[in-house]
Chains A and B, each alone.
Chain A
Amino acid sequence: MVLKNLKMTLKRSMSGVEVTRLYPEKIMDLPDAERGVHVLDIRKCIGCGACARICPNDCIELVPYARGNPLKNKKQQYPQVDYGRCMFCGLCVDDCPASCLTMSKVFEIAGWNRDDIVYSPEDIAVGMYTDQELAELAEEARKAEEEKKRKAAEAAKAKKAKAAKAKAAEEGEKGSGEKSAKNKAE
């Protein structure tokens, strides 16, 4: 009967259970598995592009990023996510070989314009290098580069000397002036 239904309504309304989630004031507890905005560990990223290749929506693009690790390859690129396309499936996270791409619980990404929802590496990065670290690393990189250059030069010299020696052994009769000229030509 209808009275029974009224009883149910009354029971529900009198139960005192408040279900409304007061969103802007209080953010709901989300589970750890939640798939929200990406988080990129810039120190771990190797720029392999596995995330961009697996993405079914083609929303990840590898772009140059100035504040990357200078010790690494200078042409290394980092993922930029277009949230106007991302469907939060998590395939990129599963496929990341360096486990540097994860998904956070953050979901507030509404934007006024289409460009507002394209997140560059800087927007999703964590563990960014500070200016001091960057300077130190750059110095280290410069040193490493110099070291490399020096070593390369040494190796070239050694090689040259070796070759010259071999040539000398082969063509012992010829004059030294001629020899060096021939080496240069080769």
Chain B
Amino acid sequence: MTTANDVLSALQSAFPGAIEEAKVDPERQLWATIKPDRIVDVCKYLRDNHNFDHYSGAAGVDRIDEGLFEVTELLASHGAHQVVALLKVKTPRDNPSVKSLTGLYWNANWYEREIWEMLGINFEGHPELYPLLLSDELMGAWPWRKDYKGYPDYNTAERAIEKVNPEGYTDYSFTPTEAEIKAGTVPFERPKYPTFREREEMEIKGESEMILHMGPQHAVVPGPFLLDILVDGERVKKAFLDVGYIHKGIEKIMENRTYTQGIPITDRLCYMAALTNNEAYCGAVERLLGIEAPERAQYIRMILEELSRIQSHFLGTAEFLTLIASAVYSPFLYMIIDREDVLSCIESVTGARINHSFVRFGGVRNDLPEGFKDMTLDTLKMIRQKTEEYKELFSSDSIYQKRMEGVGVLSPSDARRLGVSGPPLRASDTPFDMRREDPYLLYKDMDFEVITRKEGDSKARVEVRLDEILESCYIIEQCLDQIPSGPIMAEGVPKRIKPEPGEAYYRVEDHRGEMGFFVVSDGSEKPVKVKARGPVYAYFQALPPLLEGVYIADVVAIAGSMDACTSEVDR
């Protein structure tokens, strides 16, 4: 079994002098600062010799006091071992530049683009440094830098200027804020790049090819995004994805809130997975504070997170059904009906239907109410029965089978390369589940199975979700049996939280895959950086290559089976 210490000693012997400082904390996380010119070699070595084949993301931190930018690369493995390597690269604040990892990991693309557009760090060797989330107007302002003057911005609406663009639509531009004018940071220099429209028009080769726009508004997908597909006849030749229509700047906002005030904002990251987002954020801060929730609180968190998983999978499947055809509209309504019962269970504890703000540092907000156990057991019984019915329905319906079988096949190697996680990865025959891989809470004591499928098509992805609902029921039953009595908050947690300077990374199994929070503290009341590594970000990035070569009719079937949530992509 590879441990973090093994990896560290191997690195130190393979690259003497390239590693500036390194530590192992806690036992499965390896933190190392790498010399900027050796980062690609180090990552290549880790990938080839130590199975670090999962590029988990990257975070850019603005250390304005030291005059540095730090880029932290998060590397992990798809099940070969449980070590997470967090490799830091430092670069000066004026003219920052870091070597790109896109040559090694395909999915480093979006993470690096995001850091480029937000912080202005150039990535040498990146094939397409185009904006991802920001509008063209804000490009070059580098909003996530600490010295950005456009934040806070209380009166955006008053500064809007209405105009009509050449195509005849109303468009808006915004004058800079007073603070920006005062500080003299406007007008800033915009980097040169082809716009989204120009990029896709460059790809049109023949006369038979045309671009089909889907979005940004769509009736069913919760959250706007633009999916443009270049079609040749009935086949999709290439797909382009434009996200950022609901980019809210959550990470910037959280830097300007105290740790406690950050909890409700993590809810809004992905509203279907509010509890797991809370869990990931609170887990990271708890690691910084060095506290642990009491056992009862951990059980309560587990029960609610699994209930939340059930409702999310129901809604995900239901939305998918409305997307593929109205012929399966009734199951959509049935699933929403079943989901309401689960929501009632959750609401009786947390007091809210969707955005719970329930998990606290070192505990939870409320205890379980009276009669919760009976109510939940009744609901679970119903859910089991209904889920079995749906499974039977899907397996027996010949129309559904024909529509879904072999559509959007993601082979295991492709799924790992594209960086997807959660149900789509498990449907591609990779048993990768954070609850087993990197057990948090008390999942190591729980008996459950990691659901996998061999096929990797849309049908398998839905089946994995339905089976996971059953597994979640089983976990909740175990929790309800074993839950001890006791306090729900750890003792000695101060009201004003001020963690020691340091960094922490904490990952959990979201309903859609691997959710991780990377929190950097400098000892003050507000975090220096909060980076949310979401699962849907990875799905979205994997969508264009997945759509290449399929029929137009299958596009929604594939996109829908991913169970996307735009809110979390855009943040």
Contact = CB atoms under 8 A, between A and B. Distances in A.
Q: Do A and B touch each other in the complex, judged by CB within 8 A?
A: yes
A130 interface: no
Most buried by A among B340, B349, B357, B397: B357
Contacts of A91: 260-261, 263-264, 357
A87 B393 contact: no
A33 B397 contact: no
Interface string B361-375: 000011001000000
B398 interface: yes
Contacts of B265: 56
Contacts of A110: none
A2 B357 contact: no
A175 interface: no
Interface residues of B, number: 31
B396 A4 contact: yes
B495 A56 contact: no
A94 B365 contact: yes
A1 B396 contact: yes
Interface in A1-56: 1-2, 4-5, 8-9, 12, 19, 30-35, 54-56
B80 interface: no
B347 interface: yes
A64 interface: no
B340 A33 contact: no
B218 to A, nearest CB: 26
Given A19-B340, A32-B369, A33-B369, A90 B351 contact: yes
A89 B393 contact: no
A88 interface: yes
A35 B261 CA distance: 17
A87 B264 CA distance: 8
Contacts of B1: none
B263 to A, nearest CB: 8
Contacts of A9: 330
Nearest to A35: B351
A56 B397 CA distance: 49
A125 B466 CA distance: 47
A118 to B, nearest CB: 17
A31 B343 CA distance: 12
Contacts of A33: 347-351, 366, 369
A61 interface: no
A5 B397 contact: yes
A33 B372 CA distance: 13
A54 B264 contact: no
B193 interface: no
B397 A34 contact: no
Contacts of A1: 396-398
A95 interface: yes
A34 B347 CA distance: 7
Interface string A89-127: 111001100000001000000000000000000000000
A18 B337 CA distance: 11
A169 B227 CA distance: 97
Contacts of B349: 31, 33
A90 B337 contact: no
Contacts of A54: 260-261
Interface in B376-423: 389, 392-393, 396-399
A140 to B, nearest CB: 35
Interface string B261-283: 11111010000000000000000
B334 interface: yes
B352 interface: yes
B276 to A, nearest CB: 17
Given A19-B340, A33-B369, A2 B399 contact: yes
Nearest to A17: B337
A91 to B, nearest CB: 7
Contact of A19 (B257, B337, B365): B337
Given A12-B334, A33-B366, A95-B495, A88 B396 contact: no
A89 B397 contact: no
A61 to B, nearest CB: 14
Contacts of A31: 347-349, 351, 369
A87 B354 CA distance: 12
Contacts of A2: 397-399
Nearest to B328: A5
B357 A5 contact: no
Interface in A135-175: none
B567 interface: no
B357 A90 contact: yes
Contacts of A88: 352
Contacts of A56: 257, 261-262, 264-265
A29 B365 CA distance: 21
A33 B353 CA distance: 11
Most buried by A among B264, B330, B337, B369: B264
Contacts of A95: 495
B355 interface: yes
B365 to A, nearest CB: 7
A35 B352 contact: yes
A154 B337 CA distance: 75
A33 B369 CA distance: 9
Interface in B150-164: none
Contacts of B337: 19
A128 B516 CA distance: 48
A95 B497 CA distance: 13
Nearest to B336: A19
Contacts of B264: 56, 87, 89, 91
A86 to B, nearest CB: 11
Contact of B393 (A5, A30, A32, A103): A5
Given A31-B369, A87-B264, A5 B396 contact: yes
Contacts of B350: 33
A4 B392 CA distance: 9
A30 B366 CA distance: 16
24 contacts: A2-B397, A2-B399, A4-B397, A5-B396, A9-B330, A12-B334, A19-B337, A31-B348, A31-B369, A33-B348, A33-B349, A33-B350, A33-B351, A33-B366, A34-B347, A34-B352, A35-B352, A54-B260, A56-B264, A89-B264, A89-B267, A90-B357, A91-B264, A103-B351
Given A2-B398, A89-B263, A91-B263, 11 more contacts: A1-B398, A5-B397, A8-B389, A12-B334, A31-B348, A31-B369, A33-B348, A34-B351, A35-B351, A54-B260, A56-B261
The 6 A-B pairs with the shortest beta carbon distances in the complex, nearest first, are: A33-B351, A89-B264, A56-B261, A31-B348, A89-B357, A35-B351
